[in-house]
Amino acid sequence: MKHNSEIHGHKEIHGHNTRRKQDLHIQQCNTALYQKNLINMGIKLYNKLPIQIKQLETFESFKKEVKTFLVHNAVYTIEEFCAL
């Protein structure tokens, strides 16, 4: 993955055992363009997924559960997804 070094989990940033430890860390951005780039938007969307989906062990099971989640929670825009 090209930008793998830019993606870090909260548990890698600090050692605190928080309820958001499964989330990915969003980098600080100074411009609106950078805030809306593919990596940051992907991280924001991933962080909105339920914890039981983020804890899945394999990529195949992750894909299946994300698809099921999106079918049961039909959304048509990113804003709708973020409001879930």
Q: How confident is the model at residue 51 (pLDDT cuts 50, 70, 90)?
A: confident
Residue that the structure tokens 């780039």 belong to: 37
DSSP assignment letter at 8: E
Instruction: Name the amino acid, one letter, at 19.
Output: R
Please tell me the distance from the alpha carbon of residue 47 to that of residue 14, in angstroms, as a whole number: 17
pLDDT of 1 higher than 50: no
Q: What are the residue boundaries of the structural domains of the chain, listed by start?
A: 1-48, 50-84
Report which of 18, 83, 73, 6 is spatially closest to residue 42, judged by C-alpha positions.
6
* pTM assigned to the model: 0.62
Query: Which is higher by pLDDT, 76 or 23?
Result: 76
